[in-house]
Amino acid sequence: MDQDFHYNATYYAARIGGGYSEDEAITIAKASNFVDFLNNTGYGGYWKIICDEQKKEDRKYTEIGHFDYPRYTFQGTLSIGTGGGSEGLWASYHFLPGNYSVDGTPTAEEVHGKHVAESPPGHTIREIKNKTISKETGELLNRPQSVLSRLLIQDTIECIDTKRLKAILEKAVGGKEIIADSEENVSKFRLLLLGLRAHVIADNMGTSRLVCKK
């Protein structure tokens, strides 16, 4: 899926389908598109979270958290061999693992609605004939309407709740300080999270279309 879809289609969906304002839709669309561009060339390997607008007398900011070598989501990370990423993290931001049973989970129609559920192919498990690929690796394959994609949508809907968003942020580096700083940050986090999830769903549905052509 290219950035013309990740940005423009996400913006359109947010405006028309979600009823978000222009500024909110832009934030959602930027978050969705940015996933493909977070690489270790354009962004530094060490991040510091600060809470001062200006440096103190000792010319330092108040640091409330830091990241050493952030995990990158840039699509080329695995193919070009740059460090910092991992297979599991990369997959979770692009092509959700879905080559496993969905017994006991919500149906595609329950999550997507009948019209959407009937559009792409139904969930199927792909047989792995290559003996060099382990069962665990085979389960990482992206499959149309997989259980993980359904649960991702459900969880995203539940993340509209402010208490749930705060619970997530409290587990993050500097999260409590971010929450205490402004309710506006929590609201913005909601939009960013929606954009990130939209990217994953777009990639997931995009591969479903490829399956249709085959």
Cβ pair 46, 23 in contact under 8 A: no
- H-run or E-run covering 193: helix 183-213
- pLDDT value at residue 214: 31
178: closest CA among 195, 161, 190, 194?
190
* pLDDT above 60 (res 82): no
209: closest CA among 153, 144, 150, 152?
144
- pLDDT value at residue 54: 76
Q: What is the mean pLDDT of the chain?
A: 82
State how many domains the chain has. 1
More confident residue, 195 or 50: 195
The domain of 149 spans 3-213
- pLDDT value at residue 33: 94
Please give the angle made by the CA atoms of 144, 24 and 174, to the nearest 5 degrees: 85
**pLDDT tens digits, 105-159:** 888 888 888 888 888 787 888 888 888 888 888 888 888 888 888 888 888 988 8
Mean pLDDT calculated for residue range 90-116: 82
- pLDDT value at residue 76: 65
* pLDDT above 80 (res 75): no
- pLDDT value at residue 79: 56
**pLDDT tens digits, 16-26:** 989 999 999 99
* pLDDT above 70 (res 81): no
**pLDDT tens digits, 30-47:** 999 999 888 777 777 778
- pLDDT value at residue 211: 39
Q: How confident is the model at residue 63 (pLDDT cuts 50, 70, 90)?
A: confident
**pLDDT tens digits, 195-210:** 999 999 888 876 544 3
Q: What is the pTM of this model?
A: 0.81
Q: End-to-end CA distance of the chain, in Å?
A: 17
Q: How confident is the model at residue 49 (pLDDT cuts 50, 70, 90)?
A: confident
Cβ pair 143, 124 in contact under 8 A: yes
Most confident option among 9-13, 103-107, 208-212: 9-13
